[in-house]
Structure 1
Amino acid sequence: MADDSSDVRFGVEEEFLVVDPVTRAVVPLAAPVISRAVDELGARVGGEITKLQVEARTLPCHTTAALHTQLVQGRSALATAATAERLRIVATGSPVLGQVFPPPITTGPRQDQGTATFRGLHDDLGICAVHVHVELPDRDRAVLVSNHLRPHLPVLIALTANSPYWDGRDTGYASWRTVTWGQWPVAGPPPRMRDAAHYDQLVATLLDAGTLVDVGTLFWDIRLCAHQPTLEVRVADVPMTADESAAFAALVRALVIVADRAVDRGDPGPEISAELMRAAYWRAARDGFAGSGIDVTTGRLVPAATLADRLLRIARPALVELDDLVRVESWLRRLAVDADGASRQRRAATGPDGLAGIVDHLVEQTQRQQPMSTYA
Structure 2
Amino acid sequence: MTAGAGQRPRPRYSPPRFGVEEEFLVVDPVTRKVAADATTIVDRARARLGTRVSGEITKLQVETKTEPCTSTRELTGQLIEARRVVADCARADGLRIMASGTPVLSGAVPPPITEGPRQARGMATYRGLHDEQSICAVHVHVELPDRDRALKVSNHLRPLLPTLITLTANSPYWEGRDTGYASWRTVTWSRWPVAGPPPYFTSAAHYDQVVRTLSDAGALVDAGTIFWDVRPSPRQPTLEIRVADVPITPQESAAFAALVRALVVAAGEAVDRGEPGPAVRDELMRVAYWQAARDGIWGSGLDVSTGCLVPAAQLVHRLVDSVRPVLTEFGDDELVADWTRRWCADGTGAVRQRTAAGRRGQLTDTVDHLIEQTAPLAG
* TM-score bucket (shorter structure): over 0.9
Q: Does 1:64 align with 2:92?
A: no
TM-score after normalising by structure 1: 0.96
Q: Is the 8 A contact 1:15 1:54 kept in 2?
A: yes
1:345 corresponds in structure 2 to: 353
Correspondence for 2:38 among 18, 30, 46: 30
Contact 1:243-1:370 at 8 Å conserved across structures? no
2:230 paired with 1:222: yes
Cα distance in 2 for residues equivalent to 1:290 and 1:112: 41
Match of 1:308 among 298, 309, 316: 316
SS of the residue 2:359 aligns to: coil
Distance 1:13 1:67 in 2: 11
1:9 aligns with 2:11: no
Give yes or no for contact 2:101–2:245 (8 Å, CA) kept in 1: yes
CA deviation profile, 1:317-338 (whole Å, cap 9, x unmatched): 1101101000000000110221
Equivalent position SS for 1:309: helix
Of 142, 161, 183, which aligns to 2:191?
183
TM-score (norm 2): 0.96
Aligned twin of 1:261 = 269
Matches of 1:49 and 1:17, distance apart in 2: 12
Shift of 1:126: 0.2
Give yes or no for contact 1:5–1:318 (8 Å, CA) kept in 2.
no
Instruction: Tell me how far apart the structure 2 counterparts of residues 307 and 166 of structure 1 sit (CA, whole Å).
Output: 27
Tell me by how many angstroms 1:270 deviates.
1.0
Q: How does 1:1-376 map to 2 (within 5 A)?
A: 4-352=12-360, 354-368=362-376
- Contact 2:15–2:330 under 8 Å retained in 1: no
Q: Which residue number in structure 2 is paired with residue 374 of structure 1?
A: none
Q: CA deviation at 1:351?
A: 2.5
Identity of aligned residues (%): 63
- 2: CA distance between counterparts of 1:357 and 1:67? 30
Matches of 1:321 and 1:206, distance apart in 2: 40
The whole-number CA distance in structure 2 between the counterparts of 1:193 and 1:18 is: 38
Aligned-pair distance for 1:74? 0.6
CA–CA separation in structure 2 for the residues paired with 1:354 and 1:273: 42
What residue ranges of structure 2 are gaps of 5+ in the alignment? 1-10
Deviation at 1:7, TM superposition (A): 3.5
Q: Is the 8 A contact 1:94 1:165 kept in 2?
A: yes
Aligned residues: CA RMSD = 1.4
Q: What SS does structure 1 have at the residue aligned with 2:31?
A: coil
Unaligned runs of 5+ in 1: 372-376
SS at match of 1:6: coil
Q: Counterpart of 1:350 in 2: which secondary structure?
A: helix
Read off the aligned partner of 1:197 and give its amino acid letter: A
Equivalenced residue count is 370
Cα distance between partner residues in 1 of 2:169 and 2:376: 19
